[in-house]
Structure 1
Amino acid sequence: MTILAPLLRSSVQTWECDDMGHMNVQFYVAKANEGLDVLAHHLGFGPTQARTPGNGAGTAGAILLPREHHIRFHREQRPGAPLTLEGSVTGREGDTLKVYEELTNTASGVVAATINADVVLADAATRARLALPGVMDEAIDNMMTDVPPHGQARGLEMGPAVDAPALAQADDMGLVYTWQGVVKPAQCDMHGFMLQQHFMGLVSDSIPNLLSQTRGDDRSSDPNIGGAALEYRFVYRQWPRVGDILTLRSGLKHVGPKTYTWAHWMFDVETGKAVATAEAVAVTLDLVARRAIGIPDAMRAHLESKLVPGIGA
């Protein structure tokens, strides 16, 4: 049985939507992370507790921080849609919590997205991991629930994450150069760390360059055809800061009748180290009918020639 606690109630703003006309993937991450702050309150570790010096747990200024996300996008949400987010704990491995969150359309009750996260407690100012305080133990046990079938992974394999790649390795494998830029203050929290929604946002920003180099597409020339993500797995490996230069390399892992699976590797240009790896299942979207369309045979043959063996998140 799945029992979820109330976390957020909000709506889709126009500025949260992209050229597909629906809420962009990065804002699902933003809402999920905001929901974690509320979940901490339900676990007996609310904002007052976190801010109190000398609370005996060494956790003043601590936050719940996802180290991995799995997100399924069930129904697109368009401007003005009312949203409700609920969540709970589904497991514990030492000081790592398994957290499940479910975003629904408040009016219809239809599930918009499901989010599973591996979550740790961390010092907000340094990102150093902390032990879960004893004050949470009973509340964690009381909030344990099951992940419902529709919240499970569907198109992605959720095995162990790949070893952290290096930028040189990505280039040797022939991954496509899809994005590069500098981390801006507006993308960071008060301590100068890039917010997790922007990991997803940078990948989203890269997609037009990715498609232009792998399929020859230019979405700006065809307003009737777009794309949509169905499922994402994100593994966060480092925490970029203001002024860091990031670059993205992407490759095609799998091509199916309607879907294709991309892998995205994000690196710090200065160090060459991976800051995140991700996989995404995506479809081509008819923006008039608002439905997925199949991949033409000629396009599939072209995409299959771009497959990169051994790539993943």
Structure 2
Amino acid sequence: MTLQATLFSFVNRWECDENDHLNVQFYFSRFEEADRQFRLTSGLSETLVGARRVRHVRYHEELRTGDLITVHSCIAFDGPHMLTVVHELRNAGTGALAATALDGYEPSANSAKTLRQRFKDFQCAMIAEATPRGIPTGPSGLRATLAGLTAKGAEICYRGTVLPRDIGIDGKADDRYALSCCTDGVAHVWQRTPMNLAYLNENGYGRVAVEMKLTWATPLKTGDTVVVATGFTGVNAKMFTMRHHLFESRTGRLAATLDVVALTMDLSTRAAVDLPAEAHQSISKMLID
């Protein structure tokens, strides 16, 4: 069975960030809508497969103002989860693959045969480009506490409130809201490294994410106040990883984690550049894992 067309969209100027490309929170909002449409078409529901455990996104090519977007979706039983929904987001003007998302579910092992039969018209082979690279596939950081993280060196980079506009059709804060909290705060995380704003501006570089994994732990509702605490989890020659932890701040309840693979991009060539040696050393000393 071919991939199902689940979204037709467009990049608005107001959705682009300081790097002049579509901000990651709006990739997540496109995948969220595509998922709703796929569920409607296929009959997939939490009653059958349980709640989504993770949404794992890889970014393959930039999208700029005015670009056309399509998303196609399917179920890959050969994916990294017992049941994996794959979303393929393309630049409809060029056909280029711009991003992929894997939605991971872990239904009962004895239901596998039944699910394969039930969703036989919506199956496809796993898309190689969507395979996780820099982040493990399963949920992560779900036992973290704010006190424990700060003791390890994580720092708060964002505070905010869940507003009515942040709520999805299920009455809970949606993926875009979680991403917006983290993307609004992440510049303060970079500022802790030698790759601070002055360094980026002097060299004509930008901050870029190439892979992300969102894991919801507990829901957020209108009026909840939130705080994001972030720590570094790894570093190599060109990339480093971090984990954002989104807490409901009144009770300290963990709401979600967002794992990120980040790099520095030359804004003229739009290519990744090596991290300076001092950044590698600095981040290595601040790892929380």
TM-score after normalising by structure 1: 0.81
Change (3 A) 1:296 1:214: closer
What pairs up with 1:296-307 in 2 under 5 angstroms?
Answer: 296-307=276-287
Q: How many residues align?
A: 281
Query: Pick from 205, 209, 213: which aligns with 2:184?
Result: 205
1:276 and 2:276 equivalent? no
CA contact (8 A) 1:12 1:79 kept: yes
Per-residue CA distance 1:125-180 (angstroms, 9 max, x = gap):
xxxxxxx9xxx985513212221211101112224534421222112222011111
Per-residue CA distance 1:1-53 (angstroms, 9 max, x = gap):
x83111111111111111111001011110111011111232147xxxx9xxx
Query: Pick from 162, 166, 179: which aligns with 1:187?
Result: 166
What pairs up with 1:1-313 in 2 under 5 angstroms?
Answer: 3-44=2-43, 66-91=52-77, 97-118=83-104, 139-159=118-138, 161-189=140-168, 192-215=171-194, 217-218=196-197, 222=201, 224-308=204-288, 310=289
CA distance in 1, matches of 2:286, 2:201: 23
Task: Give the secondary-structure state (helix, strand or coil) at the position aligned to 1:102.
Answer: strand
Structure 2 counterpart of 1:154, one-letter code: R
Change (3 A) 1:153 1:219: farther
Change (3 A) 1:197 1:229: same
Per-residue CA distance 1:167-217 (angstroms, 9 max, x = gap):
221122220111111111211135642121111111111111111223361
* Unaligned segments of structure 2, at least 5 residues: none
CA contact (8 A) 2:158 2:229 kept: yes
CA distance in 2, matches of 1:270, 1:240: 12
Structure 1 residue 291 displacement after superposition? 1.3
Structure 1 residue 285 displacement after superposition? 1.2
Structure 1 residue 65 displacement after superposition? 6.3
Per-residue CA distance 1:244-285 (angstroms, 9 max, x = gap):
111111111111111011111111111112101121101101
Structure 1 residue 241 displacement after superposition? 0.8
Change (3 A) 1:31 1:160: closer
CA distance in 1, matches of 2:209, 2:268: 17
Percent identity (aligned): 26
Cα RMSD for the two superposed structures: 3.0
